[in-house]
Amino acid sequence: MHKRSTAIDVLFVNWRDVTHPEGGGSERYVHRMAEGLAAAGLSVTLFCAAHGQAPADEVLNGVRVVRRGGRMGVYPQALAFVRRHRPRLVVDVQNGLPFASTLVTRAPVVNLVHHVHREQWPIVFGRIGGALGWWLESGVAPRLYRGSRYVTVSGATAVELAGLGVDAGRISIVPNGIEPAPPVEARRSPSPRLVVLGRLVPHKRVEHALEVLARLRNRWPELRLSVVGEGWWDDQLRAGAERLGVTDLVDFHGFVDEQAKHEELARAWVHLCPSVKEGWGLVVSEAGHHEVPTVGYRAAGGLRESVLDGRTGLLVDDLDELTAAVDRLLADESTRRAMGRAAARHAATFSWPASLRDFAGVLAAAVGESAPLAVDEDVDRLVALLELLHGGGVGVDGGRDPRDRCGAHGDTARAGQQQNDQGLHPGTLFRGERRRSVTVEGNVVIHNPAPTTVSSAQT
């Protein structure tokens, strides 16, 4: 396909990429979308923060990656890049702080939000810094993007965004895909084994997994916990294990490659996801591929959709319930195995190619809306390619990127009440031009919607 070498069709701006020491599931999502668009013939660039483990400029699977600035410096540098290069479409990845590309470009801007950070701000930045961050995310950002389309990965985040004043009719849900699990040599551990997977940072609350281990060690003397991942909270977690007297029962693996990660998941009996917040929880699907059920917190948001409570795992409300749920699954082999099989079936319903098609549909709609601002041959070509991809006319490889890093850096009545509390009608939470399977299991569960949109009539 013909394309101009100097123009950027789609620019993603994100504060990290998959090679970043703190990159994780949300970065993998961005790379999958970017790589799929590039494979379809678009000129795609990802602008993100620089770090010491990757060059300033490189091309990964057809995507030009530009790394500039640091944790905060990436924001002004990204704005300067947008203004200078004038891409035809911008995807702002809002990980709490907005990039605000709408201030420097007339091109359409799509805001990608994995989850809302209300609970995380004070944990990471303290009371004052957290209040400032939350004001920027909840008050300023919705105004900056008031004319933009939003993409998120779960119904839980869509509801929260609508609660912040985002026009519900402009929110589309495109869930995470997942790669098929590689063949593994490991077999299920003969003795009970728990696993927690992800970045070692405070809001992932790995301490709760350590506490569960301490509380159950007398009942299950052979119980062990695998902690897979790295991060700046590592020393505090090791100190916590020592304080709880479980150092001898914990394996801190640090960063591992993809194969080692899947080997460890295959050994586990139960996967713990005690995070404060998850947009979706990609690790839940990865554990599910190995028939490992997940126990996590209902309040985490996206877990209400990646974990089908009582079918593919268990959702709980506090540490006491977390401990009891793990104890139950360890003791009840029949239930544990049944949930594991259901988790594998659930994980198999998601794929990156399907997510990419829906993501492309949102981008095509965004460009189409802005056409009066810039109608030319290149814009027409961009819309045509996006619509072709959205319709499934372009083959996209859903294969694994060798640079992916693991952890380096994922009762109907109650659901109706939660939706009513948000001012949404429980029977018609989502609508779209086309529909695929949408079911309610404790909360809304979306199987690769195409693309699903929160109804504006419900706010």
Which residues touch 59 (CB under 8 Å, ≥6 apart)? 65
Helix H, strand E, coil C: the string for 84-115 is HHCCCCEEEECECECCCHHHCCCCCEEEEECC
Among the three residues 347, 378, 393, which one is the final residue of a domain in this structure?
Answer: 347
CA-based R_g, the chain, Å: 21
Among the three residues 316, 347, 378, which one is the final residue of a domain in this structure?
Answer: 347
Q: How far apart are the first and last CA of the chain?
A: 43
Would you list the DSSP string of 113-142?
ES---TTHHHHHHHHHHHHHHHHIIIIIHH
pLDDT at 377 (0 to 100):
60
pLDDT at 119 (0 to 100):
67
329 and 412 inside one domain: no
Express each pLDDT in 313-324 by its tens digit.
999 999 999 999
Q: Does residue 183 belong to any structural domain of this protein?
A: no
Would you list the DSSP string of 4-21?
-SS--SEEEE-S--TTST
Residue of 443, 439, 437, 438 whose CA lies nearest to 413? 443
Q: How far apart are CA 297 and CA 209, in angstroms?
A: 12
pLDDT at 453 (0 to 100):
47
Express each pLDDT in 74-105 by its tens digit.
999 999 999 999 999 999 998 888 899 999 99
303 and 355 inside one domain: no
149 and 273 inside one domain: no
Q: Does residue 36 belong to any structural domain of this protein?
A: yes
pLDDT at 438 (0 to 100):
29
pLDDT at 448 (0 to 100):
40
The pTM of this model reads 0.73
219 and 242 inside one domain: yes
Q: Does residue 5 belong to any structural domain of this protein?
A: no
159 and 229 inside one domain: no
**57-60 and 63-67 beta bridge pairing:** antiparallel
171 and 30 inside one domain: yes
Contact at 8 Å (CB) between 365 and 335? no
Q: CATH number of the domain that 51 lies in? A: 3.40.50.2000
pLDDT at 413 (0 to 100):
31
Residue range of the domain that includes 329: 193-347
Stretches in the chain below the pLDDT threshold 50: 1-5, 398-459
pLDDT at 250 (0 to 100):
97
pLDDT at 373 (0 to 100):
52
Q: Does residue 225 belong to any structural domain of this protein?
A: yes
pLDDT at 410 (0 to 100):
31
